[in-house]
Amino acid sequence: MTDIDICNLALGKVSAAKIVALADKDDISLTFLYAQARDELLQLHHWAFALKRTRVSAAGLLNCSAKTITFNNLNPDTITDSGEGFVTAGFEAGDKVTIEGSGSNNTSYGIKIVAAGTLTLETHEEVIAETLENDTDLKLYATPAHIYSFKYARPSDCLDVIAVEEITINDQPNWSIEGDYIVTDEIDSDDQITIEYIKQVTDTTKFSKLFIACLTLKLAAELAMPIANDKVLKDFLLKEFSDMLLNSFVTNVTRSNPDEAFKDSSWVSAGH
């Protein structure tokens, strides 16, 4: 089963001609509609084929063994990095830089401006002049401005985070999602956390049969108006989709899936 096959199944439900390539329907942006429907459906349910567990490292310069980090007592004060890695490490204006392993500057400083090799601190922040070369003990963390102590970049294929250190969003978690980052107080001795998340799966050979059935109905509902201009058909397809998705939830429960399949009831009206 390919993405073309799935789209043709959906097109058949709205009495449209088959295609041989997604671009054949560029007048209705089928490529976009298919990808959007697929990713939305992945997020609506904890599909087993889309679950992934991994460890992620805290944002910041976690290895200063080949860098010169300099604390400059200026006006405003700055911290410079010979490796120019501040931007790619996740430092952002408005956040903080938290220092560990320094001789004189082990604290957190508010960041006003971020450049590749320079952090310009807020005007009220004061550092003690210090230069550390190739220091294996020095760590600079990119940390949230308040509430949480650390932030971690979400994996590039992450559509939604389910759990951090086995704590889900329904378990009174001490973590949250802010933009491209997971923010939390959790950190281990390797400066990492373990997360479970829903990954973006584009390989149709990985899809379960139930996922394909749901995706076909969801996509068909999206196509009912632009192709058939039929609101009644759209509503009928959405009802079929909701029933099918509910069936997938029941299937997971009967198989004793420990994860909650839905975080709320918004899936019922999914598909717009």
- What's 80-131 look like in SS3? EECCCCHHHHCCCCCCEEEEECCCCCCCEEEEEEECCCEEEECCCCCCCCEE
pLDDT tens digits along 10-32: 999 999 999 999 999 878 999 99
Question: What is d(CA 68, CA 51) in angstroms, rounded to the nearest whole number?
Answer: 40
pLDDT tens digits along 198-253: 999 999 999 999 999 999 999 999 999 999 999 999 999 999 999 999 988 876 65
Kindly give, in sequence order, each residue whose CB lies less than 8 Å from that of residue 56, ignoring residues fewer than 6 positions away.
Answer: 152, 153, 154, 155, 182, 192, 193, 195
- Edge-first strand order for the sheet with 158-164 is 51-57, 192-199, 158-164, 167-168
pLDDT tens digits along 119-171: 999 999 999 999 999 999 999 999 999 999 999 999 999 999 999 999 998 88
Question: What is d(CA 121, CA 126) in angstroms, rounded to the nearest whole number?
Answer: 8
256: confidence class by pLDDT, cuts 50, 70, 90: very low
Q: Which helix (H) or strand (E) holds 57?
A: strand 51-57
Please, what's the b/e burial string for 81-94 (b: 16 or more CB within 10 A of its CB; e: otherwise)?
A: bebebbeebbbbee
Q: Is the pTM of this model over 0.75?
A: yes
Domain ranges in the chain?
3-47+208-269, 54-197
Question: What is d(CA 223, CA 202) in angstroms, rounded to the nearest whole number?
Answer: 20
Question: What is d(CA 272, CA 270) in angstroms, rounded to the nearest whole number?
Answer: 6
Question: What is d(CA 215, CA 233) in angstroms, rounded to the nearest whole number?
Answer: 16
